[in-house]
Amino acid sequence: MSARILVVDDVETNVRLLEAKLTIEYYDALTCGDGLTAIALAIAEQPDLILLDVMMPGMDGFETCRRLKDEPKTRHIPVVLVTALDGRHDRIRGLEAGADDFLTKPLDDVILMARVRSLTRLKMVMDELREREESGRRVGVDTAGVARLKGSGGRVLVVDDNALQAAKVAQELAVEHRPLVEADPVAALEAARGAVDLMIINVTSEGFDGLRLIAQARSKEPTRRLPILALVDAQDRPRLLKALDLGANDILTRPVDPEELSARVRTQVRRKRYGDFLREKLDHSLEMAVTDALTGLHNRRYMTNQLQALVARTNRGSEPVAVLVLDIDHFKAVNDGFGHDAGDEVLREFSVRLATNVRAVDLPCRFGGEEFVVVMPGTTLEDAHRIAERIRRDVGAAPFRVMDGKAHLNITVSVGVAATTGADDTPESLLKRADEGVYEAKASGRNKVVARAA
């Protein structure tokens, strides 16, 4: 898997060395020597990962990282701080600035490439979500809430059979989060299916195989996207590398440093919420694409696609499908006499009465204006006629209250009914017959149901 990586270091020798290592592994490397140029390049080129030196003149790596994470166009790009500093304070400062990891010079090439692979995999997933988010933004979906996402208050599942260590980790987490400790890996996987923001797994546990637990979590749909922080011994390189290869999002070495634990957990919780945010916006934008904004019913586009599939199945020998076409009588008089706001109130109330008089498997839709369609799978012409009569009676049974109850309008509806009869039916022919039934109902006095056979 190739990726574009931005290398930022003011020492030319370091830049060329890292560039050579990345090129050998088939990565595309961009380079620069200062923080301001790095920010501009990141915005323009959108790399998949940034390897950022800390000790630079002018703007240091900490401030550069902070600005990258504050900028909406670059906050999603993983940043690894690379430095000769190996102090605990500097590492925590880097994580709190938003860095995804902190690597110490001289670099361990194997660990470096493992982190590069892990973080670029994550970036690819986030890029797909962001592309869909951008599509949602273009159709008016609100995405401003991402700036308010926090890394505290998360539900963190600690999976560890070392009771003393687990208790200590939970105690530290309880300051900002809601920890849950589980020693049994089977029970942990079940618990992770719920509202969990992060799973911390001790891969050195004696009672279970922590690496296998990571693999199982990644193979199951409910936990596939759940962030995993692996606890490993500092000198246990094989386990550390294997945890990253299996899909651990981050590594925390033992003995656990409380501040580093807090910083890494905040990063993972914030990232999880960002991913959830994008997915929710995607779901919302998809819903908007198939839903009528005024009534909450499905729209014409969605109805057309569903009817096409149902008629195709019917033509292959499946159950019949029926459609109702409903047109509110004298609706223009409502708009002319009481205003379009009152007309909208009538449409919303009509939609409620329509939806409550059809079955759960039926598909009530707003076709356009005051015209509605109900698609009814597995329904004969006679059954559809009976349901249409029930809708007609309910619509006319009680007045529609509009204008905050100041007006009560008597509303009626004319309904045309059609159902498939053989292999020659099409969605268009079915809707045309039902539409002809509506015209006949209106021509004969309105407030009627007319069924049209083929």
β-strand 178-182 against 155-159: which pairing, if any?
parallel
Average of pLDDT values for 27-50?
94
* Residue 450: φ, ψ to 5°: -125, 125
CATH top class, domain 1-140: alpha beta
**55 Cβ partners below 8 Å, 6+ apart?**
10, 61, 83, 84, 85
Q: Which of 172, 182, 345, 370 is catalytic?
A: 370
Q: Which bin fits 107, alpha (ψ -120 to 50), beta or left (φ > 0)?
A: beta
Tell me which architecture the domain covering 300-452 has in CATH. 2-Layer Sandwich (3.30)
How do residues 351-388 score in pLDDT, each as one tens digit? 999 999 998 889 999 999 999 999 999 999 999 999 99
- pLDDT given at position 68: 94
370 a catalytic residue: yes
How do residues 251-302 score in pLDDT, each as one tens digit? 888 888 888 898 889 888 888 887 777 776 655 555 566 788 899 898 898 8
Split at pLDDT 50, 70, 90, the class of 142 is very low
For the chain, which residues make up each domain, given as ranges?
1-140, 146-285, 300-452
- pLDDT given at position 404: 87
pLDDT above 70 (res 23): yes
Whole-model pTM: value is 0.58
Please state, in angstroms and rounded to a whole number, the distance separating the CA atoms of residues 213 and 201: 8
The answer to whether 365 touches 373, Cβ cutoff 8 Å, is yes
How do residues 299-323 score in pLDDT, each as one tens digit? 898 899 889 989 988 888 888 999 9
pLDDT above 50 (res 138): no
Q: Do 300-452 and 1-140 have the same topology in CATH?
A: no
Please state, in angstroms and rounded to a whole number, the distance separating the CA atoms of residues 294 and 297: 8
3-state SS assignment for residue 90: helix
Please state, in angstroms and rounded to a whole number, the distance separating the CA atoms of residues 180 and 11: 46
Q: Where is pLDDT greater, at 140 or 264?
A: 264
Spatial strand order of the sheet with 178-182 comes to: 178-182, 155-159, 198-202, 228-233, 250-254
How do residues 384-437 score in pLDDT, each as one tens digit? 999 999 999 999 999 999 998 889 999 999 999 999 987 678 999 999 999 999
β-strand 228-233 against 250-254: which pairing, if any?
parallel
pLDDT above 50 (res 141): no
Domain 146-285, classified CATH 3.40.30.10, yes or no: no
How do residues 186-214 score in pLDDT, each as one tens digit? 999 999 988 899 999 999 999 999 999 99
- Judged on CB neighbours under 10 Å (0-12, 13-18, 19+), 406 is exposed
The answer to whether 402 touches 357, Cβ cutoff 8 Å, is no
